[in-house]
Structure 1
Amino acid sequence: MLTPKSSRSTPERLLDAAETLMRTTGLASATTKAIAREAGCSEAALYKYFANKEELFVRVLMERRPNAGAMMAALTSDPGEQPVEERLTEIARYASLFYAEAMPMSGSLFADPVLLTRHREGVRSIGAGPHMVLEALTGHLFRELERGRLRPDADPAAAAALLLGACFQRAFFLHFSGPDTVGPVEEFAPAVAATVWAALR
């Protein structure tokens, strides 16, 4: 059962409001004033807890979308003896689902160059950005290379770009061309992981 809005803390109400507006009206229309109004507080209160709208967006993506935390755990945790291909399959699955969730929320930014620039600067100011996922996967593959689990001439950065690029493209086709243009993620993720692994092993 949902907790009544009045009993939730102000930061939680603001995150609830940001998630609702970003999912229904898009990031471009989800202004700090609208988010504060939806949360039942002042815009000044929003800035007491969050540096900017971009921080709210990042927090919503990373804390409220179920695949974000799992994706980052798969990217950053020690795989132990888990086979590399198996871990790549996990990452591809979570990344595919994460990009599919994030794309509708952020798509409206690209219609307004000024807003996109402001968003980029705001995200950079809090030390975040979509490139961090690529950097995390590249780092993960470099660690596997150091452990001797990849071929010596493997290129972790290129492999990371290929895997995440395929996941992002699937999300784009899903939303732009429709679900009938992409295969189920349960089939897509292992296929992409196997292809990348074939170039690394």
Structure 2
Amino acid sequence: MQTKPTRVRILDAAHELMLTVGLARATTKEIARAAGCSEAALYKHFDSKEELFVRVLTERLPRLTPLLGGLAAEPGQGTLEENLTEIARQAALFYEQSFPIAASLYAETQLKRRHDDVLRTLGSGPHLPIQGLDAYLRAEQDAGRVRAGADTYAAASLLLGACAQRAFAYDATDSGERPAVDEFAARLAKTLLGGISAAESAG
């Protein structure tokens, strides 16, 4: 007997299949079968596989955008270093989990174009975390905790770019292991603050 709502089962099945067989090969028919429902039932909840992919990213992976929005709305809370460390930690986890799903998009031009179109329609996309972190850093700049004149967009791009790179850059090392996320996030935040903090010491 199914206990979870159909929409939840579909998201769970889509997440699992996208991780195991890849986005390109995870068909709506296979997702519906794994969720224990009909393909018609899937389309009652999601307009397309592309929308389903976006919902998996926003509802099943670490919630980066709400964190950034909350911090931007209330600058001055906590220390700048603590906030940037938590942002980097959540971003590193998000990219670690989303990269295996999204990577297959780049192998098929038409598939990626369809997904990009849906992202625009839904007001989503990989640029939003950069914009969100930029907004947070600008709010902290206005509050006097980020140095006046510091390039907040470049700072946001540097931090999130490093977090995204962690998802794939270490597979070919001797250990084949990514840096531990907590230490990685703390080091990123501290180094970034060395370039943008208004204080003599980070924080």
Q: Could you say which TM-score interval applies, normalised by the shorter chain?
A: 0.7 to 0.9
Name the residue aligned to 1:167: 163
Q: 1:70-112 deviations in whole A, cap 9, x for unaligned?
A: x334312135431111110111111111111111111111111
Whole-Å separation in 2 of the counterparts to 1:166 and 1:54: 26
Q: Quick check: 90-99 or 50-59, which moved more?
A: 50-59
Whole-Å separation in 1 of the counterparts to 2:118 and 2:189: 33
User: Which of 50, 65, 72 is the matching residue for 1:72?
Assistant: 65
Whole-Å separation in 2 of the counterparts to 1:168 and 1:7: 36
Matches within 5 A, 1:1-201: 6-65=2-61, 68-69=62-63, 71-77=64-70, 78-175=74-171, 177=173, 180=176, 182-201=178-197
Whole-Å separation in 2 of the counterparts to 1:175 and 1:130: 23
Taking only aligned residues, the RMSD between alpha carbons, in angstroms, comes to 1.9
Identity of aligned residues (%): 49
Secondary structure of 1:74's counterpart equals helix
Whole-Å separation in 2 of the counterparts to 1:175 and 1:7: 39
CA contact (8 A) 2:75 2:139 kept: no
CA contact (8 A) 1:151 1:200 kept: yes
Offset, 1:22: 0.7
> What amino acid maps onto 1:83 in structure 2?
T
CA contact (8 A) 1:27 1:108 kept: yes
Q: 1:44 to 1:64 in 2, by over 3 A?
A: same
Offset, 1:177: 4.9
TM-score scaled by length of structure 1: 0.88
Q: Quick check: 177-186 or 145-154, which moved more?
A: 177-186
CA contact (8 A) 1:74 1:87 kept: no
Whole-Å separation in 1 of the counterparts to 2:116 and 2:37: 26
Larger helix share, 1 or 2: 1
Q: Alignment length, in residue pairs?
A: 194
Offset, 1:160: 0.2
CA contact (8 A) 1:76 1:140 kept: yes
Secondary structure of 2:163's counterpart equals helix
Q: 1:24-79 deviations in whole A, cap 9, x for unaligned?
A: 111111122221222232322222211221222222222222xx22x334312135
> What amino acid maps onto 2:8 in structure 1?
E
Whole-Å separation in 2 of the counterparts to 1:17 and 1:9: 12
CA contact (8 A) 2:10 2:31 kept: yes
Secondary structure of 1:15's counterpart equals helix
TM-score scaled by length of structure 2: 0.87
> What amino acid maps onto 1:84 in structure 2?
L
Q: 1:175 to 1:35 in 2, by over 3 A?
A: farther
Secondary structure of 2:81's counterpart equals helix
Secondary structure of 2:146's counterpart equals coil
CA contact (8 A) 1:89 1:189 kept: yes
> What amino acid maps onto 1:74 in structure 2?
L
